[in-house]
Amino acid sequence: MFKNVVVDQTDVIRIIHVDDDSSQGDFLNYFLPVSDGTFTIRAVSNPSKVLDELRTNRYDCVVTDYQMPELNGIELAALIRKEFDIPIIIYTGQGSEEVAEAAFSVGIDDYLRKEMDPSHYQVLAKRIRSVVEKKRLDNLYRTVIEQSRDAFTILVDQKVVFANKATFDLVGVKNSEDLLGKNPFPILLTDNRKKAERRYHEALKQNSSPGFNEYKIRRKDGKEVSIEVSTSPVSYNGKPAVICFARDITEKLRLEAEKQETQDRLKALVETAPDGIVTVDLLGKITSVNKMFSELTGFKGEEILGENFLKIKTMQRAGVDELKNYLKMFSRVLRGQLPPPFEFKYQRKDGSLGWAEAHAGFINIQGKKEILAIVREVSERKRIEAEMEEYSKHLEGLMMQRSQNIINNDEQKVSDQIISILSEELNNPLNDLKEFMSMLQKSPEMVSELLPVMKTHVDKSLYILEKALSRVKDPYMSLTRVSIKELIQGTLELLDIPNTIKVTTKYRGEGPVIIDRSKMRCVLENLINNAVEAMPNGGRLLLSANASGNDLTIKVVDTGTGMKPDVSRKIFQPFFSTKNGGIGLGLYYCKKAVEKHGGNIEVTSKEDFGTSVTIRIPLNAADPLLQYSNIDVITNRQ
């Protein structure tokens, strides 16, 4: 059983030698290490001290004399055997057959007569190594068998003569009498017994194992368990026997069944999917297609499988640009970059063209990476999209025409909307004025303190009315000479700008300009309020004015949320608003007011970076009051 096991012969073998003749100990200490360099020897002359020595230190073998005072070798061996499973050799010069028989009866491992020839110590050394290696292997096999998760059983005459702990756990018994000496076949389900008995007899007759076989057993608790068993012929105590290795495969079979069920379900899903499904290996060859893919293209699976996806008939008539796109897409996939969903044109077997949308992803097929694409027919959707786009353009034209008609012919409705908003805007300052008046009635001494505040609220209310009236109607221009710096600073003072926004103003040329003060103040107020609303978390606001040339240039720049291109293109259109409840006339009014001055207004914006609005108004260079200084003036307001 151990002939194929390799033992490390460099391991130290610790020997305790018991002999009341100390000279014998000296001989062993000298000759044994010469015969085997791995031996270390501890000599003990008093046999009564041997047990204490074994309890204190680890030894691999006991070599003891037979005739000694107090205890003879057999008596000592009997005491040792009660506590320790260690090889024992009786090495005596005065023995007999009777002594040897008595020694083996107490469990010694070997018996050897002393001889005077020094070469005899080589024989003793070999005997010591033999019993030690056998014991080590016995312990190793015992440990392996007892700790094995597989059930290990030996059968002789169809009865269990040995079983490890895993066997007891497998069949659900705890007591050895429930298993040892018993016929194991009754625990098998009835339809499994004949098969198991046949395999048992085949194993006895053959020199090789008939392999693994699956059975079902009923444990003592009644639970049915699936097991996998391997059998081999062995000899056990001189009798023909069969060694069985068994393991519980109930969970394994359950997982395999679930896996098979999942595979069957996935296969059914793929075959009945409403979209075409195709897999392609990393060389571009098509490895599988489902039924719907064949229906979409008109080609059967055998016409496509194994072909490079760029060379299949449904792609052969694609345009050059489309083929380039396919190549780029596939090269990206090879680099591990899955493309986003994409649309492509394809040709069916009957020659008709169609549009499809594909989604791609990586899958593993038997350890190999492949690309799975789900292809959906979108020809009808593309047709509807084209019709919708054409209809949208037509509708947009009608809406623009209708909007202009509203502006030209339905100003009363706009006025009603503005008056509704105006009532909300005036509510706060007028209520505040009412509260201040109540305070003055109660505490006249506060007049000097409250009058400036009340004046500010009155100015704000008048400003709101003036702004609203300017949007309802378009009065004639009222041109006056205005300091652009004072206009901008005055507008800023009227507005409630959060402290989280840093405001910077920059002026070039501080002389007066000829403009409509009211209209331009409304324009600035609109632009500044829009900039503040675009920076809810704070930011920077720059207002610059340059009146040093033939044009007045005003810029309002913020670091707010910015706008998408499709939004920035529409902001000056009437009734276009991104605010809830807005009527969309603020920027439209700004544009009209600037154009009344003969100027223009432009906007540039980038999403997440900010917006810049530029106003340009031509100046009358002949007016002597419009010869401005070229000195730059920069002021900051937090």
Q: What is the pLDDT of residues 32-47, one digit of tens each?
A: 988 888 999 999 999 9
Q: Are residues 492 and 633 in the same domain?
A: yes
Interval 227-260: pLDDT, tens: 999 888 888 888 899 989 999 999 999 998 888 8
pLDDT for res 629: 35
* pLDDT beyond 80 at 404: no
Work out whether the CA dihedral 256, 259, 264, 267 comes out positive or negative.
negative
Q: What angle do CA 376, 380, 384 make, to 5 degrees?
A: 130
The number of distinct structural domains making up the chain is 4
* Of 75, 79, 54, 53, the residue nearest 66 (C-alpha): 75
- Residues 43 and 121 placed together within one structural domain of the fold: yes
135-160 burial by CB neighbour count: b if 16+ within 10 A, else e? Answer: bbeeeeeeeebeeeebbbbbbbeeeb
- Residue 590: DSSP 8-state: H
Pairing relation of β-strands 224-236 and 212-218? Answer: antiparallel
For the segment 135-154, the average pLDDT, to the nearest whole number, is: 84
Residues 515 and 615 in one domain: yes
Lowest mean pLDDT among 273-277, 369-373, 578-582: 578-582
pLDDT band at 306 (very low <50, low <70, confident <90, very high): confident
Question: What integer pLDDT is reported at residue 288 of this predicted model?
Answer: 87
Q: Is 82 inside any structural domain?
A: yes
Residue 94 sits in a domain of what CATH number? 3.40.50.2300
Question: Tens digit of pLDDT for each residue in 419-476?
Answer: 555 565 666 767 777 777 777 666 666 767 767 777 776 766 666 665 555 554 555 6
Render pLDDT for 473-511 as a digit per residue (tens, 0 to 9): 555 678 889 999 999 999 999 888 999 999 999 998 767
pLDDT of 395 reads: 58
Answer whether residue 219 is part of any domain: yes
Q: What is the pLDDT of residue 504?
A: 94
Asked whether residue 417 is domain-assigned, the answer is no
Q: Which of 334, 355, 377 is the last residue of a domain?
A: 377
Which pLDDT belongs to residue 343? 80
Please name the residues in contact with 477: beta carbons below 8 A apart, sequence gap of 6 or more.
516, 519, 596, 597
Which of 299-308, 381-390, 531-540, 625-634 is modeled with the greatest confidence?
531-540
pLDDT value at residue 616? 94
Residues 160, 39 share a domain: no
Q: Do 72 and 215 sit in the same domain of this protein?
A: no
Contact call for residues 369 and 282 (beta carbons, < 8 A): yes
**Are both 139 and 45 inside the same structural domain?**
yes
Read off the CATH number of the domain in which 548 is found: 3.30.565.10
> Does residue 382 form part of some domain?
no
Q: For residues 313-320, give the mean pLDDT.
A: 56
**pLDDT > 90: percent of the chain:** 27
What mean pLDDT do residues 310-338 have?
Answer: 64
Say how far apart CA 452 and CA 440 lie, in whole Å. Answer: 13
pLDDT of residue 394: 65
DSSP string, 133-154: HHHHHHHHHHHHHHH-SSEEEE
Cβ distance 259 to 349 under 8 Å? no
Do 249 and 285 share a domain, yes or no?
no
The verdict on residue 279 lying in a domain is yes
User: Do the domain assignments include residue 67?
Assistant: yes
Q: Is residue 452 part of a domain?
A: no
Average pLDDT, the chain: 81
pLDDT level of residue 417 (50, 70, 90 thresholds): low
The highest-confidence range among 343-352, 429-438, 595-604, by mean pLDDT, is 595-604
CB 513 within 8 A of CB 628: no
Note whether 125 and 155 are same-domain residues: no
pLDDT given for residue 128 in this prediction:
93
pLDDT digits (tens, 9 = 90+) for 361-401: 888 877 888 888 888 888 887 787 777 677 657 655 665 66
Q: Which of residues 323, 353, 377 is at a domain's end?
A: 377
Residue 633 has pLDDT above 60, yes or no: no
Q: Which of 410, 2, 430 is nearest to 234 (CA)?
A: 2
What is the predicted pLDDT for the residue at 553? Answer: 93
Domain match, 527 and 623 both: yes
Cβ atoms of residues 186 and 174 within 8 Å: no
| Predicted confidence (pLDDT) at residue 609 exceeds the cutoff of 80 | yes
C-alpha–C-alpha distance, residues 184 and 228, integer Å: 15
pLDDT of residue 602: 93
Domain of 299, CATH number, reads 3.30.450.20
Quote the percentage of the chain above a pLDDT of 70. 79
Nearest residue to 490 via CA among 518, 466, 469, 451: 518
Task: Say which range, 61-70, 126-135, 232-241, 391-400, has the weakest mean pLDDT.
Answer: 391-400
Task: Report pLDDT for 408.
Answer: 57
Residues 229 and 305 reside in one and the same domain: no
User: What is the pLDDT at residue 558?
Assistant: 95
pLDDT for res 399: 54
pTM of the full predicted structure?
A: 0.42
Average pLDDT over residues 201-229: 84
pLDDT tens-digit map of 160-201: 998 888 889 898 998 888 888 999 998 899 889 888 888 888
Predicted confidence band at 566 (pLDDT cuts at 50, 70, 90)? confident
Does residue 318 surpass a pLDDT of 70? no
Specify the higher pLDDT residue, 454 or 151: 151
Residue 153 has pLDDT above 80, yes or no: yes
- Return the pLDDT at 374: 86
Query: What's the average model confidence in pLDDT over 568-589?
Result: 77
Examine residue 42 and state whether it is found in any structural domain, yes or no.
yes
Q: Which contiguous run of DSSP H or E holds residue 223?
A: none
Same-domain pairing of 491 and 611: yes
- From 144, 161, 191, give the residue that closes a domain: 144
Query: Which structural domain range is residue 175 located in?
Result: 148-253
Are 478 and 621 contained in the same domain? yes
First-to-last alpha carbon distance for the chain, in angstroms, is 95
